[in-house]
A and B are shown apart, each in its own frame.
Chain A
């Protein structure tokens, strides 16, 4: 008589050798590894005087054994690109790509900031005023809505061309990349837009970018994990044809995916311009690439259908740790980009290796 317990699931049995831990765990391990590497360098390098990266036993500074200032900046400096990469993650999971997010940040920041200016700067009239008197000291809701509507519009255009005109996502969003950079330059003919209202400045003050990032990450995680929207996104990314035949409205869904991604990028622009108290046409340069890199380091597969928000958040943390680690060990500015590039490639190579081994086991 055959094994009763395996009968109902097509003869599958529990096999220890096929057990594997979740993908996010690897990213977490890599994060720990990189932190340990920097801690070790702190002890080895002669000019570092045995400083620690994350710990600080001098109670006088903040009363904890952790170096809270450094832990805060590690997360803070990746929060804004992190918000973009949340949107990019679901685009990549759906089998697409979004290259337009960086320039969209520039364009949205310029437009939004024009609706968030104050009338007086140190008692003088605002030297960077874009519109007339009506646009000064508007309630903070106005720039917020303007920004999100602009983002939704750009995303809808992206989604329309990808889903209905069947243009490859790479090309459609590359075109939008140029359009958005053009908009950001044209808006004020290259002049920066500065001096926002206090209400607007609150959005990005202090650790607020982290609050937005973590809050949105939890929201996106719940959406991707537990809602029909999330399930459909994974289904389309895994096998678009199969998803279509099982009754998913693939076209409409894709438009929504790109709209959400662009709204998140527009929100990132709001946080960024608020944090910096200025909007500049060149803002957001390379953000699209960093956002994609964060997702990929976090285990999101560029072929679609695989990855998670938790992974992307961890990927963002890897970036933050590397960035702060370089300053902490005072790595010469000339080597930083090279080292960062090597780490990105190394992380993905390791992930691919693990994928292949996992595939070989089953």
Chain B
């Protein structure tokens, strides 16, 4: 046992120590909470490894800038590239550039359009968005049933940025869940975008409240918007014990809102796990090892019952 450990440690030193691995990372956007946790996940893992250097750049939500960054990485001879795509439909050119140069490429967090036709030395690491909205909406459906509203409940739906794949998918998840027999008692009164933003969500919720319609739940595509809705409802004097509010991300702010009894459901997407998973895949590909082309890090449902396990995660 000891021997094999030593041998594998020596092997690791051979592979990582002898040739230091340079990994270029192009993030879609630096000023996004979730992507920041993911980015820190990559950085922290790299810091903890010998001979792995990461250079992380901000594509500032600009497709052209991102492609330039990838070409610059290739030109400076990195051993692998990690891309968090700005636009998931613009990844063909990135795949082609990396493939032509023979540099391994790992897409992280956002599913590239060519995910099914990636060359052998490219992979995709993310969580499956279908899980997030489904877990959220189904839990809300169960809570509403437990409240005895199984024969009719009304909900508002807050969507993220309309151009964003996660917003589109989570919204579709909501529609899919309330299309099921068990949850089709939920009626969506209105669906609007608040662009992932707490401020916009507060304003949107207050506008909804001003129409005076009765409702039982607010389903938001992310936590920031759920918190905005909660702040607006509390300002209007609504009882947060009765109204069910759900979000996605399990941010620190959301967990605090859940501890205060305002937020009922959120979903934990393991951002840091995606970051380290992507770096693992990139290093393995750079070493010429076999890697599964789709690596899914599971979403996890967070409710007041299991919140304690998540307080230090994000």
Tell me whether A121 and B256 are in contact (CB under 8 A).
Answer: yes
Provide the main secondary structure of the chain B interface.
helix
B209 at the interface (CB under 8 A from A): yes
User: Does B231 have its Cβ within 8 Å of any Cβ on chain A?
Assistant: yes
Flag if A277 contacts B231 (CB, 8 Å).
yes
Contact of A73 among B31, B206, B231 (CB under 8 A): B206
Q: A203: shortest Cβ distance to chain B, in Å?
A: 14
Given A70-B207, A275-B199: A181 in contact with B36 (beta carbons within 8 A): no
B235 at the interface (CB under 8 A from A): yes
In the complex, the chain B residue whose C-beta lies closest to that of A286 is B195
CB distance from B40 to the nearest CB of A (A): 7
Contacts of B165 in A (CB 8 A): none
Give B residues with C-beta under 8 Å from A.
29-33, 35-36, 39-40, 58, 159, 162, 190-193, 197-199, 202-204, 206-212, 224, 228, 231, 235-236, 251-253, 256, 259-260, 311-312
Shortest beta-carbon distance, A212 to chain B, in Å? 15
* Docked pose: A70 CA to B260 CA in angstroms: 28
Contact (A69, B209) CB under 8 Å given A77-B203, A189-B36? yes
A333–B211 CB distance below 8 A? no
Q: Is A262 an interface residue when CB atoms closer than 8 A count as contact? A: no
**A70→B205 CA distance, assembly (Å):** 11
> A273-297, CB under 8 A of B: which get 1 and which 0?
0011110111100000000000000
9 A-B pairs with CB atoms under 8 Å apart are: A58-B212, A124-B259, A185-B31, A192-B251, A275-B199, A277-B253, A278-B198, A281-B31, A336-B193
Is the beta-carbon distance between B206 and A76 smaller than 8 angstroms? yes
Return B184 CB to nearest CB of chain A, in Å.
21
Q: Which residue from A128, A278, A280, A323 sits with its C-beta under 8 Å from B31? A: A280
B-facing mask of A163-199, CB < 8 A → 1, else 0? Answer: 0000000000000000001001100011110110000
> Bound state CA distance, A336 and B203, in angstroms?
15
Contact with B along A236-252 (1 / 0, CB 8 A): 00000000000000000
Chain A residues, Cβ within 8 Å of B311: 124, 127
Q: Hey, which chain B residues are within 8 Å of A67, CB to CB?
A: 210, 212
Task: State the Cβ distance, B149 to closest chain A Cβ, in Å.
Answer: 23
Choose from A184, A190, A334 the contact partner of B36 (Cβ within 8 Å).
A190
Inter-subunit contact B256/A195 (CB<8 Å): yes
The reply to whether B252 and A128 contact each other, CB–CB distance below 8 Å, is: yes
Question: Is B210's CB under 8 angstroms from A69's CB?
Answer: yes
Q: Are A61 and B212 in contact (CB under 8 A)?
A: yes
Task: Give A276 Cβ to nearest chain B Cβ, in Å.
Answer: 5
> Could you list 10 further interchain pairs (A-B, Cβ under 8 angstroms) beyond the known A76-B203, A327-B207?
A58-B212, A73-B209, A77-B207, A124-B311, A190-B35, A190-B36, A192-B251, A195-B253, A281-B31, A333-B193
Asked whether B252 lies within 8 Å of A194 as measured between CB atoms, the reply is yes
Please give the distance in Å from A62's CB to the nearest CB on chain B: 10
B252 touching A127, Cβ below 8 Å:
yes
Q: Is A354 on the interface with B (CB-CB < 8 A)? A: no
Determine if A333 and B159 form an interchain contact, defined as CB atoms under 8 angstroms apart: yes
- Given A194-B253, A328-B207: A276 in contact with B40 (beta carbons within 8 A): no
Q: Specify which chain A residues have a CB less than 8 angstroms from the CB of B252 in the assembled complex.
A: 127-128, 192, 194
Q: A282-B31, A283-B199 are in contact. Are A190 and B207 (CB under 8 A)?
A: no
Q: Which residue of A lies closest to B35 (CB)?
A: A190
B253-A278 in contact (CB<8A)? yes
Whether B30 lies near A275 (C-beta < 8 A) is: no
A132 to chain B minimum Cβ distance, whole angstroms, is: 18
Q: Which of A121, A276, A336 is B231 in contact with, Cβ under 8 Å?
A: A276
List chain A residues, Cβ under 8 A from B203.
Answer: 73, 76-77, 323
